Every structure is written in structure tokens, then in C-alpha cells.
């Protein structure tokens, strides 16, 4: 077991009464969604070590321990042994050596062994349940170990007895923090590590380095996510589907199939991008609600069809902001009919581009995609559908990706419920983006559509998206179905 010190990674033993959320705290701090989290007491029966590794470098270790079972008998044994305060840690060690093979004290020995090996102590209680004197026995035993220790008041249920707990815990622990394992954000987790660094001078440099590396990794994840989203948006702006037409074949029937294939391609691209971002944030087992699974109590907007009208209402720009942003400035040019090698241009839905008007350009999916019948120099014809021409389309794709990233970046690894979206999302989420940033994004969209230096345009888009990801979408809430 690594001891707290300048030459090793910090190690923490997470201890406490059974069923107080110890495993949840370990999962959150270790960013590990493989850790079993359960409301059933006694889920953790053996101490298990989990190391947070960033870019191949271990930052700190957490030990998930069983809960105290016979704390009273253990303390009685310790107090019955001769010695003074200076020998208390040795008496705890003597107990573990003597009773390690005794099944009666298996849990106590399991949780004390990593502490005796040098782990700092994170003592977990449930602040939604009343304080009781039985906890004093546990806290006294931990004080006997002599190790640096912090108390965490976890919030599991609906009650609020935090004031009681603070009063009692303050008598045994140098630092007492309220810490919600399910909903603590990144900054709260960093504050916890910084606070523990103040408890032990020997371990302080290693913890400070861990905090610095975590902040660097956080920014790296955001930058990589921005790149993934930029690729997604660029694909949406340029994706097409084609098929050969027979000599006398009408374009009407294969057109419908190509439209379906284009939609499927864009939806699949979005799912792949989401998976890559979830992997970046170490969410490997995330469950999502499918549309309608929640019976309508929560709007699972991100799981709806990309081309659903409701999705465009929530995630696209409003008509007013499309004008302000300049998204309509080139729409007229896009409305002309393309004549390629003698072929004809067909229009899908209400027309090509926003210049043809209609509510779909502002509030609906509109399904405005370019459709062309291309003559080939060697004979024959090719039907091409795409790319999507609606000026709001890239804003919808980006808005969905923006919200998804935020939910993933702030989601703790202890949470096991399906991810859903609160029904109170305002319409036109992208209207909240600062005007200058919107215009930068729009210029990138135009450049990518035109194919002007695509690599540079996509890089500029990624840089603008990174700036966007540093802010939170308005009225964003998560909910548990």
C-alpha cells in the first residue's frame, strides 16, 4: 500500500458505517463506473483498491472498505490494553495482527489494514439520517490510528441533519465537508482534494500535483470533445448519398431511399460522436432513456430523431437570431437550381435553403436537402441527395452536442440511473450563445459548406466550439426518471 508522502501517490481509505455511500464516493473520485454501487447494506465485503490514472500516470488511490460491524467490541479491546496515547496506533496494529483470521472481525481488519499501511482517512456518514452515539465508537477508533482524516457528510435521502453531524464530527476530525457523491461537480471534487492536502504536509506536494494534472486533463478532454463535435458538424454540412439511375428510371422512388439513408448516416454519426465523448470522460457503461420510455414525464430530447420538429425548436436558432448571426446572408445563393452535365435539380420538402421561406427554416426539421440528377460523361445518370441545406441544421446538431457534452462532463461516475433531460428546456437554446461567437461559428459553417480549405475551417470550428463548451447551456437540468 502506498503511504502518503512526497515520493508516492496519495492514498485514501474510505470508511464508515455500512450503506452510507462509501462506494459511491470511491466511484466519483476514481472516475470509475465499474464500481458496484447499491442501496443494499454490505455490498462491499473486501477492501478494494482503485487508482485514478490520467494519461498513464497514477494520481491517487482510493480503498473501498467494508463498514464497521463490531466497532464496540474492537474499542473495548483497544482500551483494555496497557499503554498511553502515544501507543494507540500500535495497539490498533496489534488488534489487526491478532484478529486478522477471526471471521468475527473480518470487516474491521479489512478497513483498518490500509489505514495502518499509511492511507489517509475519508470517513463517510449520511447527513439525511439523524446522528447517533454509536458513531462515536467508530470515530474514536479512527482517531486512535493517528492518520490524517477528513469527514464527509454524504446526502443519500431526503432528510437534513447536517447541523447535528457537523457538531459531532468537528470533535473528531480536523475537516468536515458536505459532499454529495452523486452530484458533486468537478470544482467540488478539486476542493476536497485541496482540503485534504492541508491535513498532511508530507502528502501535500503529491496531492497538489494530482490537482494540477486533473485540471490539465479536464481541459484536454474539453479540447478533444470540441474536435469530435467539429467533425460531426462538418460531416452534417457535407454528407451526401448517391445511387445510379437506370436509363428510364424515375428519380422519385430511389430519392426516398437516399433521403432515409442520409438521415440514418447523420444519426449514426451523432451516436458515434457521443460515444467518443463519453469515453473521453470515462463513462463506459452509460444508460440512456429511449424516446417515450419515461412516459412523457421527462423530455428525452437528445434521444429523439435529429429531424424531429421538437428537437429543432429546442436546439436551433430562432428566426431573429438567424438574421442577427448572418446565417441567412448566403441563403439566396443556395436557392438556385443546379444544372450539372445537363442534369436537373430536384427539391426535397419545401425547397432548397432558407430563401424559399416556410416555417420549417425556423422551427422545424424541414428536411431541406439538395437533390440532383447528375449526368455522367461516360453515360448514365447518378442521383445525389444532400447535403442538408437548411441554415438551421448545423445549429441544431451543435446545440444537441453542446448539451450532451455538458451532461457527460458533469455527470458523476457513481450515478447508475438512465440519463434523461428535464422537460423545462427553453426553446432555441443556441440563442444564448454570445453574438460574436455565433458569427464565428456561422463563418466556419459557410467555409465548410463551400469546401474552402476544409481542414483549416474545421480547426477554426473546433476552436470556437471549445469556447462554447466552457459555458453551460441555459436552463439545463438533469433528472432521474
125-139, 239-253, 404-418: segment of lowest average pLDDT: 239-253
Beta strands in 342-380 (DSSP E): 345-347, 369-375
Strand 120-126 to strand 149-154: parallel, antiparallel, or no bridges (unpaired)? Answer: parallel
- Quick check: is 434 in a domain? yes
Q: Final residue of a domain: which of 147, 171, 202?
A: 202
Residues 369 and 250 in one domain: yes
Cell 508516492: give the residue.
8
Instruction: Report the pLDDT averaged over residues 175-185.
Output: 91
Residues 226 and 182 in one domain: no
Give pLDDT tens digits for 20-60.
889 899 999 999 988 877 655 444 457 899 999 998 899 99
Residues 227 and 100 in one domain: no
pLDDT > 90? residue 251:
no
How far, in Å, CA of 45 to CA of 19, rounded?
A: 12
How far, in Å, CA of 36 to CA of 29, rounded?
A: 14
Residues 234 and 122 in one domain: no
* pLDDT (0 to 100) of residue 331: 43
Tell me the three state secondary structure of residue 480: coil
**51-55, 224-228, 445-449 — most confident range:** 224-228
Q: Final residue of a domain: which of 139, 171, 202?
A: 202
- Quick check: is 447 in a domain? yes
Average pLDDT of the residues of the chain: 81
- Quick check: is 211 in a domain? no
38-47, 288-297, 364-373, 458-467: segment of lowest average pLDDT: 288-297
Residues 324 and 434 in one domain: yes
* CB distance 284 to 33 below 8 Å: yes
- Quick check: is 283 in a domain? yes
* pLDDT (0 to 100) of residue 18: 83
pLDDT > 80? residue 360:
no
- Quick check: is 3 in a domain? no
- Quick check: is 251 in a domain? yes
Residues 468 and 398 in one domain: yes
Q: What are phi and psi of 97, to 5 degrees?
A: -65, -40
Tell me the three state secondary structure of residue 178: strand
* pLDDT (0 to 100) of residue 362: 36
Range of the domain at 404: 221-479
Which CATH number do you get for residue 196? 3.40.50.300
Domain count across the chain: 2
Read out DSSP for 50-94?
Answer: EEEEETTEEEEEEEE-PPPSSHHHHHHHHHHS---GGGHHHHHHH
Residues 190 and 231 in one domain: no
How far, in Å, CA of 310 to CA of 299, rounded?
A: 10
- Quick check: is 417 in a domain? yes
Sign of the CA dihedral running 11, 17, 19, 21: negative
How far, in Å, CA of 68 to CA of 111, rounded?
A: 8
Residues 308 and 452 in one domain: yes
Residues 190 and 243 in one domain: no
* pLDDT (0 to 100) of residue 317: 85
* pLDDT (0 to 100) of residue 426: 59
As a whole number of Å, the end-to-end CA separation of the chain is 41
- Quick check: is 215 in a domain? no
Residues 126 and 227 in one domain: no
* pLDDT (0 to 100) of residue 333: 36
> What percentage of the chain exceeds 90 in pLDDT?
54
Residues 146 and 252 in one domain: no
Rg over alpha carbons for the chain, rounded to the nearest Å, is 29
Amino acid at each position: 500500500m502506498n503511504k502518503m508522502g512526497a515520493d508516492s501517490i496519495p492514498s485514501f481509505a474510505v470508511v464508515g458505517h455500512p450503506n452510507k455511500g462509501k462506494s459511491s464516493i470511491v466511484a466519483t473520485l476514481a472516475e470509475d463506473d465499474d464500481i458496484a454501487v447499491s442501496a443494499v447494506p454490505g455490498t462491499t465485503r473486501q477492501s478494494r483498491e482503485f487508482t485514478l490514472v490520467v494519461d498513464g500516470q497514477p494520481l491517487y488511490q482510493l480503498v473501498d472498505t467494508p463498514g464497521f460491524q463490531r466497532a464496540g467490541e474492537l474499542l473495548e479491546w483497544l482500551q483494555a490494553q496497557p499503554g498511553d496515547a502515544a501507543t494507540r496506533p500500535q495497539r490498533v496494529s496489534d488488534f489487526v495482527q491478532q484478529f486478522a483470521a477471526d471471521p468475527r472481525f473480518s470487516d474491521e481488519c479489512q478497513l483498518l489494514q490500509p489505514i495502518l499501511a499509511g492511507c489517509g482517512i475519508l470517513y463517510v456518514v449520511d447527513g439525511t439520517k439523524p446522528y447517533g452515539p454509536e458513531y462515536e465508537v467508530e470515530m474514536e477508533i479512527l482517531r486512535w490510528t493517528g492518520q490524517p482524516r477528513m469527514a464527509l457528510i454524504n446526502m443519500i435521502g431526503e432528510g437534513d441533519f447536517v447541523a447535528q453531524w457537523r457538531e459531532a464530527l468537528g470533535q473528531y476530525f480536523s475537516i468536515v465537508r458536505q459532499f454529495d457523491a452523486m452530484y458533486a461537480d468537478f470544482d467540488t471534487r478539486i476542493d476536497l482534494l485541496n482540503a485534504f492536502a492541508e491535513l498532511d504536509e508530507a502528502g501535500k506536494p503529491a496531492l497538489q500535483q494530482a490537482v494540477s494534472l486533473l485540471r490539465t486533463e479536464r481541459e484536454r478532454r474539453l479540447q478533444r470533445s470540441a474536435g469530435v463535435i467539429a467533425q460531426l458538424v462538418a460531416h452534417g454540412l457535407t454528407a451526401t448519398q448517391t445511387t445510379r439511375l437506370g436509363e428510364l428510371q424515375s428519380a422519385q422512388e430511389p430519392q426516398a431511399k437516399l433521403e432515409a439513408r442520409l438521415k440514418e448516416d447523420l444519426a449514426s454519426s451523432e451516436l458515434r460522436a457521443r460515444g467518443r465523448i463519453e469515453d473521453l470522460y470515462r463513462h463506459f457503461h452509460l444508460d440512456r432513456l429511449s424516446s417515450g420510455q419515461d412516459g412523457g414525464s421527462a423530455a428525452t430530447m437528445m434521444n429523439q430523431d435529429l429531424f424531429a420538429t421538437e428537437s429543432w425548436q429546442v436546439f436551433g436558432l430562432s428566426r431573429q437570431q438567424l438574421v442577427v448571426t448572418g446565417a441567412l446572408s448566403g441563403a439566396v445563393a443556395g436557392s438556385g437550381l443546379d444544372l450539372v452535365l445537363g442534369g436537373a435539380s430536384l427539391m426535397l420538402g419545401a425547397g432548397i435553403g432558407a430563401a424559399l421561406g416556410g416555417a420549417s427554416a425556423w422551427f422545424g426539421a424541414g428536411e431541406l436537402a439538395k437533390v440532383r440528377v447528375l449526368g455522367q460523361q461516360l453515360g448514365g445518370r447518378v442521383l445525389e441527395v444532400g447535403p442538408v441545406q437548411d441554415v438551421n441544421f448545423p445549429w441544431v446538431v451543435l446545440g444537441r452536442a453542446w448539451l450532451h457534452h455538458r451532461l457527460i462532463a458533469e455527470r458523476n461516475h457513481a450515478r447508475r440511473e438512465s440519463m434523461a433531460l428535464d422537460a423545462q428546456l427553453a426553446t432555441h437554446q443556441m440563442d444564448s450563445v454570445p453574438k460574436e461567437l455565433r458569427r464565428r461559428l456561422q463563418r466556419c459553417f459557410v467555409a465548410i459548406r463551400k469546401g474552402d480549405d476544409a481542414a483549416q475551417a474545421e480547426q477554426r470550428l473546433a476552436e470556437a466550439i471549445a469556447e462554447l463548451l466552457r459555458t453551460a447551456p441555459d436552463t439545463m437540468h438533469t433528472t432521474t426518471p
